[in-house]
Amino acid sequence: MNQVPPQAIDLEAAVLGAIIIDSEVLSKLSDLLRPEHFYKDNHQVIYAAVLKLAKAYKPVELLTVTQQLREDGTLEDIGGEYYLVDLTAKVASTANTEYHARKVIEMYLLREMITGAHETLKSAYDMDDCFEVLQKAEDRLQNIVITNVRAGARGMGALITEAVKSLEDKQRQVSEGVAMGISTGWAELDRLTGGWRPGELTILAGRPGMGKSSAVMCLLRNAAKSGVAVKIFSLEMGAGQLVNRLLSMEAEVPLEAIRRATLNPMQWQDFNLAAGKLAGMDIWVDDNLRMTAMDIRAGIRRAVQKDKVGLVAVDYIGLVKGNDKKIREQQIEEIVDVLKSS
């Protein structure tokens, strides 16, 4: 079924006409509107010429736009000078141009979603790897959001107010001995790091057998005790092993006694109390042993959106599946970059 893609040709013309009539309009749109947002090719060419003039600090008006297009060799391609005159003649007012521009962008986003859906549909019919198709579909949508939905600029007054309040809050937390981020549960570590903070990637390094996994589980448990939802991607141990470690920590019962089922009556009592406490904590475990960085990133995003997870651990990066065509050092660098962007 051949359908015309979403478009707003009249609004595109109105936006371009308003820019040519009143160059002040461009200052409101240049950070918002891009040439590819326009559906018609000649509108893309005209707007690109307008941006070229603005970048060179030249005035944007009918004569300069005409001259720029002539220099670029595209004036006749867009319909000649008459077409530019016609664009300006149709503009009654520039008051609603920003609204018109946003509608133009919305049509572009719909076209991009349709394109992505067609690509996903083709991959599905070609019976490509199911999870790879899902990942690519999610990445396409995420890319549309990241590259087209941006927060506007904020004034210095608001930024200063926010900075002062942030510093006051931090100062109060320091004086009260409270971590500025999510508390690690270890006072000395909180003092050194300020706790776990949003957007940070922290790597816990050490030799094999030094207790890195146990330390990570302890830190996650501490965060969960403070009311934070946490999640671990475990590529080394299964969920059962992790739960046993947590029960051992919480009950203060030797892990070996849990493994061998040799708990004495007092230990059983402590074990049951610990089980009840842990069951009420917001802890999530993904023990899929063969995961790529993209799999983990997708899992993190779902966990944040669906389960409101505030702290995530990966145990451990060395087991994350990388690109086999690259050496391991390059794979690790790529994996870390993906996790940072999560």
Element (H, E) at 46: helix 41-55
Closest CA to 197 of 215, 172, 179, 212: 179
Element (H, E) at 212: helix 212-225
Residues 6+ positions from 146 with CB-CB distance below 8 Å: none
Distance (Å, whole) CA 264 – CA 82:
93
Residues 6+ positions from 49 with CB-CB distance below 8 Å: 65, 68, 69, 72, 74
User: Is residue 236 annotated as part of the catalytic site, yes or no?
Assistant: yes
The torsion region of residue 33 among left (phi > 0), alpha (psi -120 to 50) and beta comes to beta
Tokens standing for 37?
């947002």
Distance (Å, whole) CA 121 – CA 232:
32
List strand residue ranges (DSSP E) for the chain, in order. Answer: 230-234, 283-286, 311-315
- The residue from 236, 256, 329, 334 that is catalytic is 236
Contact 5, 114 (CB under 8 A): yes
Distance (Å, whole) CA 182 – CA 219:
10
Q: Is 122 exposed, middle or buried (0-12, 13-18, 19+ CB in 10 A)?
A: exposed
Contact 45, 51 (CB under 8 A): no
What is the amino acid identity at position 161? T
Neighbours of 231 (CB within 10 A): 22
Distance (Å, whole) CA 169 – CA 78:
57
Query: What is the residue whose two structure tokens read 């060419």?
Result: 45
CA angle in degrees (0–180, nearest 5) for 331-316-139: 55
Active site residues: 236
